[in-house]
Amino acid sequence: MRGAQIVVDALEREGVEVVFGYPGGAVLDIFDQINRSKKVRFILTRHEQGATHMADGYARTTGKPGVVLVTSGPGATNTITGLATAYMDSVPMVCISGQVPTAVIGNDAFQEADTSGISRPVTKHNYLVKTVAELPRVLKEAFYIANSGRPGPVLIDLPKDVQQAVLKDYSYPKKIEMTTYKPTYEGNPRQIKRAAEVIEKATRPLLYCGGGVVRALAHEEVLALAERCEIPVTTTLLGLGSFPETHPLSLHMLGMHGTQYANHAMHECDCLIAVGARFDDRVTGKLAEFAPNCRANIIHIDIDPTSISKNVPVTVPIVGDCKRVLTQLLEVIKPKKHSEWLAQVAEWKKQYPLRYKKDDELRPQFVVEKIYEVTKGEAIITTEVGQNQMWAAHYYLYTKPRTFVSSGGLGTMGYGFPAAIGAQVAHPDKIVIDIAGDGSIQMNIQETATAVLNNLPVIVCILNNRYLGMVRQWQEMFYGRNYSAVDLGRPMDEKGRPTDGLPDDVPPYVPDFVKLAEAYGALGRRITRKEDVVPAIEWAIKARRPVFLEFLVTREENVFPMIPAGASVKQMIGGLT
Amino acid sequence: MEHVISCLVENKSGVLSRVAGLFSGRGYNIDTLCVAPTQDANVSRMTIVCRGDDRIIEQITKQLNKLIDVIKVIDMTAEEHVERELVLIKVACTAATRADIIQLVNVFRARIIDVDLKTLTVEVVGDARKVEALIELMRSFGIRELVRTGRVAILRG
Ligand SMILES: Cc1ncc(C[n+]2csc(CCOP(=O)(O)OP(=O)(O)O)c2C)c(N)n1
Ligand SMILES: [Mg+2]
């Protein structure tokens, strides 16, 4: 069998249903095979970055590795942002890139790039395959590494001559034989016992859940532990969906833009159970003042030993799969009541709810709230990056894992739309909505063609403030309102007339998202009044076609509460705008 | 504090850059690095001398362990071990200083491996204390060139 055939055979054997990518000279041999496959569907994107985020959205909503196929040089370099995004958020992915023939590697050949070198720091592992003999093993290992232990992207750089070379006696390996890579899944029983003791002694325990709970689908175990021991639960951005936000024990998200009650609870708790979270700086703020009352009682469950005690020293480290470790813990831990603590937490929740100004203006928070109400929380929500992302986190209540999809670690603008397309490929019958900003959506808007041509009815809700809103907010708060390079619109006078002297046929909002959607064959609607929000969302859901809903929202809305970067909970800014 | 970390890795291309990239990417410093195959040609040993507080060293060892091509990581500093480094020193000499240099070299059980009218090349093998001491002494004569292998280490017993 030839190398290219081996690749496609491996994809089929690994159960890959869909590959996202873009062709070019150095992968022609694989493209010559992939469209003959009866099992693998290939989706042609409009940019390789789009392909990686689609694979990512597919992976985050299914738990299966997303697969990407691109050419050498620019094709491969275009995947770097997507690989880095997946790497930061532990998303399983296998990216196959073509490479120039082995004989000319290093000669600055046409479309040559040192792809394995460039991708090394943003992948869990990568390979440059030099002979066809090693190809079957590399493919097998790549899929295994991508989706075991702490998941992550794996890149296979495949020179053209290796794709063309013939391997006699090909058989796909059945077993993995890797002596150097053996993730730990089971928790150490002694540590589990210690954890149980620490929790049983606590009077103000708190569960802090991250993306690891979602990846491991440990949500039921979290719920069981929380209920059995009366422990309130806060989650990180990536942890949204790991605990039902409609549950009385939910404290919603914590951290820089977390709820006040979650951050208060973190400050006051005397025992912290961190599950699949990594004490990221957006969560902890100033480390020295982070969670001062639980420092002697921190339990940290994580599959990645490097995440444990990296930023915050922990008392009981437990390396293992969140689901298994929690199951082990549930076997030994006794029920406990914490009525005083829960009363305190409930009081904070009542005292400091998330809030925004309720008036006649069309505010972005209102739009998100309505998306939640209309979809009854049953949609898959993806987000772009910025204020839109935070409002999507605040005003939609997530109750199930894999329903909130967002670039947390890298904060990649342009992620949400292709990720939504990938999620829709995996879940054709679900409502998939990208909550977008007007800036971010333009970073991968070309994928509208992919959505339209593949009949993927993704709904993009653009919260259009004509600003790079989150950056504007920082400039307002920390740079004396010196707005520099954040205005995406045309300069206007008080009466809303453009003052830039451009021709009359330049639309007031650039681009005109409604026309843009229509140009691609998608549907578009602009919403300017509160009362039109619900009908627009209902219309978009009924359409079962790609739709852009452009909400012209209040321009200078801020995301609150906020703990400024590097500050502590005491410096939290809570109020209304 | 200084640590000597010994790392068994698969002997294949790209591994060195993974390890080096881990250090540079995370802002850790490598003082010396020494790589060569072991008795098993498929396995190489890297001996890395680096500095950092306990937290950083813990991260370094964990991060190294996490690399797929790394087989085993030992922080030698915590164990009974022997360290050696080989250093070549090309030192300036004149008729007047030659005898002094040779005498020092003998005291250190080092060797002269090349002789020239204006220079002597000294080879010294030893632990950090010994080689540093000889280098210091040679400075007063004028070191023209200094080549060090970096340290290697092995567990006792
Ligand atoms: C690729 C990329 N470039 C720059 C940034 C920095 N950044 C973070 S939020 C933001 C503004 C996003 O604007 P928009 O999409 O309109 O969202 P809004 O905050 O207005 O809701 C920028 C520029 C980023 N996160 N990603
Ligand atoms: Mg905006």
pLDDT tens-digit map of A491-501: 888 888 899 99
| Beta-carbon separation of B62 and A117 below 8 A | no
> What is the position in ligand 1's atom list of the atom closest to the CA of A414?
1
Distance CA B50, CA B29 (A): 6
Q: Which ligand is nearest to the CA of A436?
A: 1
Mean pLDDT, range A541-546, rounded to an integer = 98
Q: Is the pLDDT of residue A577 over 50?
A: no
Q: What is the pLDDT averaged over residues A299-321? A: 96
Is residue A356 domain-resident? no
Question: pLDDT of A147-180, one tens digit each?
Answer: 999 999 999 999 999 999 999 999 999 999 898 9
Spatial separation of the C-alpha atoms in residues A556 and A465, rounded to whole Å: 7
**Which chain A residues contact residue B18 at CB under 8 A?**
120
Superfamily of domain B82-155: ACT-like. Chain A, domain 2 (3.30.70.1150)
**Average pLDDT for residues B85-101, to the nearest whole number?**
97
Contact between A294 and A269 (Cβ < 8 Å): yes
Calculate what percentage of chain B has a pLDDT beyond 70. Answer: 100
**How many angstroms separate the Cα of A261 from the Cα of each of A278, A569, A577?**
20, 11, 19
Q: Are residues A375 and A333 in the same domain?
A: no
Give the whole-angstrom CA distance, residue B129 versus residue B101. 19
Q: How much is the pLDDT for A576? A: 55
Please report which helix (H) or strand (E) contains residue A145, including its range: helix A135-146
pLDDT of res. A298: 98
Residue A178 inside a domain? The answer is no
Q: State in Å, rounded, how far the first CA of chain B is from the last one.
A: 25
A241 pLDDT more than 50: yes
- A104, exposed or middle or buried, with CB in 10 Å at 0-12, 13-18, 19+? middle
- Percentage of chain A beyond pLDDT 70 is 99
User: Looking at residue A177, what is its pLDDT?
Assistant: 86
Residue A512 lies in a domain: yes
Domain B2-78, what architecture?
A: 2-Layer Sandwich (3.30)
ipTM: 0.92
Q: Does the beta carbon of A389 lie inside 6 Å of ligand 1?
A: no
**pLDDT on residue A509:** 83
Closest CA to A86 of A115, A54, A108, A116: A54
In A396-506, where does DSSP find H-type helix? 416-426, 448-453, 469-478
Q: Report the alpha-carbon distance of residue A270 to residue A292 in Å, rounded.
A: 8
3-state class (DSSP) for residue B123? strand
DSSP track, A19-69 = EEE---GGGHHHHHHHTT-SS-EEEE-SSHHHHHHHHHHHHHHHSSPEEEE
Q: Does B20 touch chain A (CB under 8 A)?
A: no
Ligand 1 pocket: which of A282, A413, A415 to mutate (most atoms within 8 A of CB): A413
The answer to whether B71 and B21 have CB atoms below 8 angstroms apart is: no
How large is the greatest C-alpha to C-alpha distance in chain A, in angstroms?
76
Q: Is the CB of A368 under 6 A from ligand 1?
A: no
CB contact (8 A) between residue B17 and residue A117: yes
Count of the separate structural domains present in chain A? 3
Which residues in B lie closer than 8 A to residue A305 (C-beta atoms)? 62, 65-66
Min distance A127 CA to chain B CA atoms (Å)? 9
pLDDT of residue A492: 87
Average pLDDT score over residue span A263-291: 96
Looking at chain A, the whole-number percentage of residues with pLDDT higher than 90 is: 96
Residue A10 shares a structural domain with residue A140: yes
Instruction: Please tell me if the CB atom of residue A316 comes closer than 6 angstroms to any atom of ligand 1.
Output: no
Interval between CA A478 and ligand 2 midpoint (Å): 18
> Over the stretch A17-58, which tens digit does the pLDDT of each residue have?
999 999 999 999 999 999 999 999 999 999 999 999 999 999
Q: Is residue A26 part of a domain?
A: yes
- Residue A563 falls inside a structural domain: no
Evaluate if residue A575 carries a pLDDT over 70.
Answer: no
A232 and A127 housed in the same domain: no
Q: For residue A182, tell me if it sits in a domain.
A: no
- Cβ–ligand 1 contact at A388 (below 6 Å): yes
CATH code of the domain covering residue A123: 3.40.50.970
Q: How many angstroms separate the alpha carbon of residue A470 from the centre of ligand 1?
A: 6
- Ligand 2 centroid, distance to A242 Cα (angstroms): 28
Write out the two tokens for B84: 């050696």
Cα maximum dimension of chain B: 57
Clarify whether residues A516 and A383 are in a common domain: yes
Of residues A282, A323, A279, A284, the one with CA closest to residue A300: A279
B63 touches chain A (CB under 8 A): yes
**A335-351 residue pLDDT tens:** 999 999 999 999 999 99
Omega cis (within 30) before A561: yes
For residue A193, the surrounding DSSP H or E stretch is helix A189-201
Task: Check whether residue A264 and residue A205 sit in a common domain.
Answer: yes
Contact across the interface for A180 and B14, Cβ inside 8 Å: no
Asked if the model's pLDDT at residue A384 lies above 90, the reply is yes
Ligand 1 atom with minimal separation from the A391 CA = 21
What's residue A497's pLDDT?
A: 87
Residues A238, A314 within the same domain:
yes
CB-nearest to A310 from B10, B13, B59 is B59
Q: Tell me: the pLDDT tens digits for A357-367? A: 999 999 999 99
Check whether residue A344 and residue A377 sit in a common domain: no
To probe the interface with A, which of B66, B67, B72, B73 has the most A CB atoms within 10 Å?
Answer: B66
**Residue range of the domain that includes A57:** 3-164
Residues A209 and A127 in one domain: no
Is pLDDT at B148 greater than 60 in this prediction? Answer: yes
The segment(s) of chain B belonging to CATH 3.30.70.1150 are 82-155
Q: Are residues A325 and A378 in the same domain?
A: no
Give the ligand 1 atom nearest the CA of A437. 15
Nearest chain B Cα to A182, which residue?
Answer: B68
Task: Identify the residue whose C-alpha is closest to ligand 1 atom 17.
Answer: A437
Same domain membership, residue A524 and residue A383: yes
The CB density around residue B41, as the number of other CB atoms within 10 Å, is 8
Q: What is the pLDDT of residues A174-206, one digit of tens each?
A: 999 898 999 999 999 999 999 999 999 999 999
Ligand with an atom nearest the CA of residue A442:
1
Which DSSP state fits A562? B
Average pLDDT over residues A87-113: 98
Q: Which of A361, A399, A372, A374 is nearest to A540 (CA)?
A: A374
Ligand 1, residue A488: give the atom nearest the CA.
16
pLDDT above 90 for A508: no
Q: What is the pLDDT of residues B27-69, one digit of tens each?
A: 998 999 999 999 999 999 999 999 999 999 999 999 999 999 9
Question: Which residues in chain A are contacts of B65 at CB distance < 8 A?
Answer: 305
Q: With respect to residue A346, please indicate whether it lies within any of the assigned structural domains.
A: yes
Q: Which residues of A are catalytic?
A: 48, 110-111, 160, 470
Determine if ligand 1 sits within 6 Å of the CB of residue A49.
no
Please give, rounded to a whole number of angstroms, the shortest distance from the CA of B130 to a CA of chain A: 36
Residue A501 burial class via C-beta count within 10 angstroms: exposed 0-12, middle 13-18, buried 19 and up: exposed
Contact, A372 vs A378, CB < 8 A?
Answer: no
Q: In a 10 Å sphere around its CB, with 0-12 CB exposed, 13-18 middle and 19+ buried, how is residue B129 labelled?
A: exposed
B126-144 pLDDT, tens digit each: 999 999 999 999 999 999 9
In a domain, A340, yes or no: yes
Q: What is the mean pLDDT of chain A?
A: 97
Put simply, the answer to whether A178 touches B68 (Cβ < 8 Å) is yes
